[in-house]
Amino acid sequence: DIRMTQSPSTLSASVGDRVTITCRASESISDWLAWYQQKPGKAPKLLIYRTSSLESGVPSRFSGSGFGTEFTLIIKSLQPDDFATYYCQQYVTYSPITFGPGTKVEIK
């Protein structure tokens, strides 16, 4: 299986901050990476697919980049609604798709 790691595991930030989350794959996944946002007690919500394509309805303050084994999710100016846990997921292979362990963005 392709192993996904994320850093940091927890991030403390303030409203208005620029936030960067890193996701790494154990082998190259080209640009086949998605990002999800999850709030407590809720299902993950798709934010970004194919590394940098924003899902419909997702604010433009979210952006993604990367290729191969290293990827980043950037929140340009953190808003109160953005405090959540963020997961990356590789889909270069469906057997199986795998998720990162998550990065919790909490209020500083």
Partner 1 sequence: QLQLQESGPGLVKPSETLSLTCSVSGDSINSRIYYWGWIRQSPGKGLEYIGAIYYSGTTYFNPSLKSRVTISLDTSKNQFSLSLTSLTAADTAVYYCARRSGSGWWYFDSWGQGFLVTVSS
Site residues, partner 1 (CB under 8 A): 1, 32, 34, 42-46, 49-50, 55, 87, 89, 91, 94-102
Give me the residues paired with residue 37 across strands.
45, 86
CA distance 82 to 70: 23
Pick between residue 51 and residue 78 the one whose CB is nearest to partner 1.
51
Pick between residue 42 and residue 81 the one whose CB is nearest to partner 1.
42
CB of 53 to partner 1, least distance (A): 9
* Structure tokens, 84: 């959540």
CB of 50 to partner 1, least distance (A): 7
The most distant pair of C-alpha atoms in the chain lies apart, rounded to whole Å, by 39
Q: Which amino acid is at 64?
A: G
CB of 2 to partner 1, least distance (A): 12
Determine contact, residues 2/27, Cβ cutoff 8 Å: yes
